[in-house]
Amino acid sequence: MPKRTIKETLVLILRLMLTFLKIGAFTFGGGYAMIALVEKDVVEKKKWLTEKEMIDLLAIAESTPGVIALNTATYVGQKVAGFFGALAASICVMLPSIVIIVLISGIIQQFGDNRYVRWAFLGIRAAVAALIFNAVLKMFKQVEKNVFSYILMAIALVLAALSVFNVIALDVVFILLGAAAVGLIYGIFRRGKQNHRTAADTPASSASPRQESSSPARSDEPQEKDQSSEKSEKNDSCDNQEETR
């Protein structure tokens, strides 16, 4: 995190507070619905995080204890403005929900039985599903495009679906931890394979200059022999001329 003046830090914390107040006020449908809003504000508009950092953030927020919305806000605040940024973002993302629940707690039954409210939330839930799907597509573009990633993604998707429909009792945290372990093993294996290839290519590349350097010396030997034979022939011819004289 770059060094900033006190004024710059306070301005940044204020921007964090306003951002997460808005996200907390307009997030319907749980923490996963917040992903699209965070991705749009934090990654696209303000450039506080990259797409890759956003994917890592979601993995950390899901695998640590607590609500994913709060974990996400804490992570972003810490990344942007340190401890006080994390504190401000965490408070502001929860504050709208707390205020709304306190205000409507006395008349919650009337709101729940109101058909207009039910119809409104029916549309909100559909829009939230679309926003989550949009965030998934954007994150999919950042996934490494190879067979290993596709296979691991398919396995994780099947396990998550089986967990949602109560076919198996498997928490999402264990899916993430399992994927992390498999990815670690794959990375170690791939690095070892690359090192083996590099070691195999090194002797061949080091031997070729030696062969090239030795070949000119060999090619010069016949030329030296030819020159010495020509000199001896000239000397013999000179001797013969002197004898005839």
Maximum CA extent, the chain: 142
Confirm whether 243 is domain-assigned. yes
Looking at the structure, do residues 50 and 19 belong to the same domain, yes or no? yes
Confirm whether 123 is domain-assigned. yes
The span from the first CA to the last CA of the chain, in angstroms, equals: 100
- The pLDDT of 53-71, averaged and rounded, is 83
Q: Point out the domain boundary residue: 93, 117, 142.
A: 142
- The pLDDT of 20-48, averaged and rounded, is 84
Q: Residue 122's domain spans which residues?
A: 6-142
Query: CB–CB of 115/15 below 8 Å?
Result: no
Looking at the structure, do residues 62 and 40 belong to the same domain, yes or no? yes
> Among residues of the chain, what percentage have pLDDT more than 90?
18
Q: Which pLDDT score is estimated for 243?
A: 47
Confirm whether 1 is domain-assigned. no
Indicate whether 92 pLDDT > 80.
yes
> Among residues of the chain, what percentage have pLDDT more than 70?
78
Number of domains present in the structure of the chain: 2
Q: Point out the domain boundary residue: 114, 142, 170.
A: 142
Looking at the structure, do residues 234 and 179 belong to the same domain, yes or no? yes
For residue range 98-139, what is the model confidence (pLDDT) as tens digits?
888 887 776 766 666 778 877 887 887 788 778 778 778 877
Q: Compute the mean pLDDT over every residue in the chain, rounded to the nearest whole number.
A: 78
Q: Point out the domain boundary residue: 142, 172, 203.
A: 142
Alpha carbon distance 123, 119 (integer Å): 7
Confidence of residue 203 (pLDDT cuts 50, 70, 90): low
Confidence of residue 217 (pLDDT cuts 50, 70, 90): very low
